[in-house]
Amino acid sequence: MARVADAASVPRGFSLRRAADQDWQPHPIAGIRMRLLAINEATGYSTLLLDAEPGVRFPAHHHGASEECYVLSGSLHTLGRRLGPGDFLHADAGTDHPEMWTEEGAQVLLVVPPDEVPTQ
């Protein structure tokens, strides 16, 4: 009931997501789960929260559009560097991204175009 009351108190035009919400979805890569936080078709971006288990490897890929990644916790290895909490990476459209991995696990905030939101 408290959850319903909480949702009802959010004014029209706003979307509220709580840390306690357990609406994680599987990601196509084993060991990663995701929460789709928002899709903004008008401005062309989606915001996702990714949670990667220790040892997960994300294969090399091509960026068809710009992508932004902010590390919230844990660490992520990419481009010959270790990124930790507070580190940010922007990739322009048309770039090729080498393999990424996490030894300890990581949570990242990812901003991508709506058509690049992963589906299972």
Residues 6+ apart with CB under 8 A from 4: none
Q: What is the pLDDT of residues 14-44, one digit of tens each?
A: 888 898 888 999 999 999 999 999 988 888 8
Q: How far apart are CA 39 and CA 48, in angstroms?
A: 9
- CATH number, domain of 52, equals 2.60.120.10
Residue-number span of the structural domain to which 94 is assigned:
23-116
What pairs with residue 99 in β-bridges?
none
- Domain-located, residue 13: no
Q: What is the pLDDT of residues 46-88, one digit of tens each?
A: 999 999 999 999 999 999 889 999 999 999 999 999 999 999 9
- Specify the DSSP class assigned to residue 8: H
- Domain-located, residue 49: yes
